[in-house]
Structure 1
């Protein structure tokens, strides 16, 4: 076997060292995502707001996430993925440090939104790993393995964060509890600064300011409209949402005409990439939109409503914890499945697991073991997709747009989750009779959640069938260096 296929041990050792440092960053990202959940009520009381106002925290981060991912991904391709990783980490650290020291809801909301810069970490990391590994001749395989390890670290951090946060909030003052994740993010900055080297190839170019303005207006209108829809499904909310979608047209026209676009919209016509982006959006429906409804379904008292399990908070957290463990197993299993078959088949299988897992809720939702089983099946597929989608996008994209491609998987996933959050919120309110254990969702609404999540999973699998057979492999990745997306020159 040639050195091009089996890279030198020194080069592999350096790459593994980078992955180890980045795994710490992703573990911290997971902590941020799981740590605050057990203390949201305490945060609301400290800020003097109603529990329902906590939803604005999610909405603000969602809007920022959808906007910053494509911008930072593009800047990563231009000036360096490590550099933008440092900038995003510094912004996340500053926002995290502000949270413990304010009792103003407006300031807390702004800091919470800015903390959402951590969403760019994983796509930037995958782009950085791909840029370092593609010269080895086994870049697709190495990137898939690295992505699995990073997602496993992410989910382990989420589990640890939820457990640690839940334990500390009962023992320490709130400001001290909120300070702990901020210190971890500061540590991440120095881990990246000292332990990670920059991408070997920087592509420069001009920053697409006009594209940023058009995309910002479109995403703010769209996600803002969705947020308003969850509160009041009036004509203004619908017009705002429709206006955001309409603004995507002039954005796409501009991006096609500019020589150095923020997002190369031609990638949406690439036979290997468009199914990946579509899968990311459909996957966002379940992975970002369904977790809260599943939690509230488990908490609903069947003696009052005739459905639900009436579980305690701890029993519900075990369901979520087992789901996250299944995601870890799925993330680590993806590179094995991709090697035994092909990445395309592994992606199809993962999407089918998500679809089957949620559709199993239709007949099986009356017992604790049934919920755990359904969530474990969906979790296996979800963990594989979280790891596989950015790795597949990196392998299929031209070298100049690696960050853009990996960032788009995250951005489109976020938009899918935003739409699902709105649709599911409306569905659960429709026909609801009251609240029990913090939820007033109707059974018909929960059925809607299960059907939509199941069908979107199967639809993603169907879309991936259309991907070229050898896509996302090292042989296909080598071809991308010769011809860019849709046959354009790289």
Structure 2
């Protein structure tokens, strides 16, 4: 009876958190159909909209490690509330400004929502600490949360596209802000704090060092994407400086008694491959989104390749992909229980790799692209759910928030690198493409590069996971945690 009551309480918490992830999905899908309208409203070129994505990615890479650590220290619900409040305040600024600088700053601050999923997984893991089948419970919860996330993205894209055609932009931009405010009170009233926060002293020096490293690295990648960036030694210098700044950060963390990120986790036979897999997965799940969309919109009558789809037909491809992700996320706990989480991670990585490599021979018709994206989506959905759950189950008890947050941070860095590489690859050779000397489409060779890199990195992740201990991410591994003597 006690176990049933406890599971029931946890199920209620997961239900409230699913609403939070639904809101996160809405934010990720809602604005996409109206980016051109936003550019016209702000009086900027369409290309300047790319800075919105760049600044938000940069901020999210900084926010996740800090908030994940603070969640372990002072409570995951508390940091979830703070991040939601910041996201909501930023969203309320967007409808009432026509300044690109103010809009850009508010848009970047909305990137605080990226910490929601890691904090939620850590909260569920901590709340299920004394339950039997803890890893399985966390895996099921992660699958439900990701399903809610992708469902929100689908609904957000459909509603955003419908509203922008009939309502003023100011009113349309208010809708997600109101939803975030509701989300704040759902967390406040419906979610209980994680038990036994770890406490400790916040590692401010570590945060400053890793922030400088990430700002330099992602900023350098943004400079490389600008015209002439590849030939500019300063762009490369900023990237290299960002990499070199990781060295003093690691040295400091190794000496710090209560580090922001316990870098020793990267040496763990279970956690190290998970973090590396997250980075390789970020290449496809974050870096390949724009190239897939632009390939579908490219007119084959003009450029000799592409699908020439309309905006609505392109959104259907995205919708099918997201439905496949939901399916993969929901199937993940069943397969993890059947063949172990480790083999499920490997299988999901293989699906992602296979789906992208299928683009090489099969990319000429709408049906072929849909079929490829279903394969990619099934694997991607499973990985989105599996990676934070696997990190939580393999991490020390006081580092669950940090571990789940690191999967998101490393994934973001992988996506930022891929975004830069893919942008350069698609730009290279455009002028020599038949019939495209004056066009704006990417080169076919560039698209082949995108598919090959995404497929190869996903298969590389599957190979890396071969070396993970067979019992990793299971309750047997979690039960083997060393409990310090009192």
Q: Does 1:229 find its partner at 2:249? A: no
> What is the Cα deviation at residue 135 of structure 1?
1.1
Deviation string, structure 1 residues 214-241 (Cα, Å, up to 9, x no partner): 0110000000001111112221111001
Q: Larger deviation: 473-482 or 152-161? A: 473-482
Q: Does 1:55 find its partner at 2:27? A: no
The answer for the alignment partner of 2:450 in structure 1 is 449
In 2: Cα distance, 1:342 partner to 1:435 partner: 50
Deviation string, structure 1 residues 211-268 (Cα, Å, up to 9, x no partner): 0110110000000001111112221111001100000010001000100000000000
The answer for the alignment partner of 1:374 in structure 2 is 372
Q: Does the CA-based 8 Å contact 1:300-1:436 persist in structure 2?
A: no
The answer for the alignment partner of 2:130 in structure 1 is 135
The answer for the alignment partner of 2:404 in structure 1 is 406
Q: Would the alpha carbon gap of residues 258 and 222 (structure 1) be closer, same or farther in structure 2, given more than 3 Å must change?
A: same
Q: Would the alpha carbon gap of residues 39 and 89 (structure 1) be closer, same or farther in structure 2, given more than 3 Å must change?
A: same
> What is the Cα deviation at residue 137 of structure 1?
2.4
> What is the Cα deviation at residue 438 of structure 1?
8.7
The answer for the alignment partner of 1:81 in structure 2 is 76
Superposed, which structure 2 residues align to 1:213-252 within 5 Å?
Answer: 213-231=208-226, 232-233=229-230, 234-252=232-250
Partner of 1:134, secondary structure, is coil
> What is the Cα deviation at residue 437 of structure 1?
12
The answer for the alignment partner of 1:486 in structure 2 is none
> What is the Cα deviation at residue 435 of structure 1?
6.5
The answer for the alignment partner of 1:336 in structure 2 is 334
Within the candidate set 40, 59, 62, 2:35 is matched to 40
Superposed, which structure 2 residues align to 1:84-99 within 5 Å?
Answer: 84-99=79-94
In 2: Cα distance, 1:111 partner to 1:239 partner: 29
In 1: Cα distance, 2:219 partner to 2:304 partner: 35
Q: Does 1:69 find its partner at 2:64? A: yes
Q: Does the CA-based 8 Å contact 1:28-1:188 persist in structure 2?
A: yes
Q: Would the alpha carbon gap of residues 287 and 14 (structure 1) be closer, same or farther in structure 2, given more than 3 Å must change?
A: same
Q: Larger deviation: 434-443 or 200-209? A: 434-443
> What is the Cα deviation at residue 306 of structure 1?
1.0
The answer for the alignment partner of 2:108 in structure 1 is 113
Within the candidate set 172, 175, 191, 2:170 is matched to 175
> What is the Cα deviation at residue 480 of structure 1?
2.3
Q: May I ask how many residue pairs the two structures share in their alignment?
A: 480
In 2: Cα distance, 1:170 partner to 1:294 partner: 24
Q: Does the CA-based 8 Å contact 1:301-1:436 persist in structure 2?
A: no
Q: Does 1:203 find its partner at 2:198? A: yes
Q: Does the CA-based 8 Å contact 1:399-1:481 persist in structure 2?
A: no
Q: Does the CA-based 8 Å contact 1:73-1:403 persist in structure 2?
A: yes
The answer for the alignment partner of 1:473 in structure 2 is 474
In 2: Cα distance, 1:87 partner to 1:147 partner: 22
Structure 1 outlier segments of 4+, above 6 Å: 434-438
In 2: Cα distance, 1:168 partner to 1:187 partner: 20
Unaligned runs of 5+ in 1: 484-488
The answer for the alignment partner of 2:261 in structure 1 is 263
